[in-house]
Amino acid sequence: MLTRYPHLDDVLDLRFHPVQNSEPASFTPVQIEQFNHQGFIDPIPLFEDDALADLQAYVRHHEVDLQRMKEEANGFVSLHHCVPALYDLVGSARTVAHLQDLIGPNVICFISDLINKPPGQTQGGSFHQDATFNAVDARSVIIWLAIEDADADNGCMNFIPGSHKGGAVECDTNHYVVDPAKYGAAIPCEVPAGYGVFMSDLLMHSSPPNRSEDRWRPGFTATYTAAEVQPHDTVTQWAIQCSGEDVHGRWQPHRRPVAP
Ligand SMILES: O=C(O)CCC(=O)C(=O)O
């Protein structure tokens, strides 16, 4: 099994295509090379000082409501689609400028999630490739943004560097990679608060348990692709335009939501 959409397995291009950008505007050429070589770029600051404090306060005050919103929407909804503050978060200028170096000028965000792992967890941590969950060609870039410091103690993500290069691989019925160790050694990706890590949708990653005694681990993740990429199935349901335009009218992006 390759993806959650077996009828698309022969339609989707699930190979890795290196980013070709010799004159990036926000990343350095070395960081672009890092993306191509290891499948992610070491964390960079996206929110600092007051902007970070505001984001942390927002998440602390609204977390319960946001989780309830997801549960009430048949188990999941991409929150940027219905919460103005999170719409603005996924389209923030610094984030999008960096994405344009990897994706091009026409940036679509089509999925996001707030994951706050409680302390004292004992289970979790199966490797997967996000491209196998998305009904689009494997060209998406995922940003994982730390709302508070994420480290090995409170369950930061683990990556298998270079595991994106072979494209999508066989997974089990839960869409976890079969025998991930054969694709390389896993490393923890520690991310300071306000920093984001940009990763290929083919990078094998896992979310190990938060074994800390009393530290929550809130992280916000958003998935972006180029408007030129053909969407399939229901993948446009939460699509928004972060920059440029939907050149071929493929995504029909949604407007900024209004506050409930
Ligand atoms: O935030 C996390 O720890 C899990 C993220 C993840 O694995 C995913 O969104 O695919």
125 C-alpha to ligand 1 centroid (Å): 9
Q: Which residue's C-alpha comes closest to atom 2 of ligand 1?
A: 207
Cα separation of 24 and 31, whole Å? 9
Q: What is the pLDDT of residues 32-75, one digit of tens each?
A: 999 999 999 999 999 999 999 999 999 999 999 999 998 898 87
Inform me whether the pLDDT recorded for 140 exceeds 70: yes
Inform me whether the pLDDT recorded for 130 exceeds 90: yes
Cβ(151)–Cβ(188) below 8 Å:
yes
**In the prediction, which pLDDT does 9 show?**
85
Ligand 1 pocket check for 115: Cβ under 6 Å: yes
pLDDT band at 94 (very low <50, low <70, confident <90, very high): very high
- Phi/psi at 163 (5° precision): -75, -5
**In the prediction, which pLDDT does 92 show?**
97
Q: Ligand 1 pocket test: pick from 157, 175, 202 the residue with the most ligand atoms within 8 Å of its Cβ.
A: 157
Nearest Cα to Cα of residue 158 among 211, 204, 96: 204
Q: What is the pLDDT of residues 207-258, one digit of tens each?
A: 999 999 999 999 999 999 999 999 999 999 999 999 999 989 999 999 999 9
Nearest Cα to Cα of residue 203 among 237, 253, 165, 170: 165
Cα separation of 155 and 206, whole Å? 10
Cα separation of 142 and 196, whole Å? 10
Cβ(155)–Cβ(117) below 8 Å:
yes
Buried b (16+ CB within 10 A) or exposed e, 102-133: bbbebbbbbbbbbebbebebeeeeebbbbbbb
Lookup result for tokens 């508070």: 148
For each of the domains in the chain, give its residue range(s) and CATH number, in order of start. Answer: 30-243 (2.60.120.620)
Q: Which residue's C-alpha comes closest to atom 9 of ligand 1?
A: 221
Environment class of 258 (CB within 10 Å of its CB; exposed 0-12, middle 13-18, buried 19+): exposed
Inform me whether the pLDDT recorded for 260 exceeds 70: no
Residue 147 vs residues 41, 74, 152, 166, 193: alpha-carbon distances, Å: 18, 26, 15, 31, 5
Nearest Cα to Cα of residue 221 among 144, 151, 111: 144
pLDDT band at 169 (very low <50, low <70, confident <90, very high): very high
Per-residue tokens: 194: 């306000």
Residue type, 153: D
Ligand 1 pocket check for 157: Cβ under 6 Å: yes
48 C-alpha to ligand 1 centroid (Å): 22
**In the prediction, which pLDDT does 74 show?**
81
Inform me whether the pLDDT recorded for 106 exceeds 80: yes
Output the pTM of the full model. 0.97
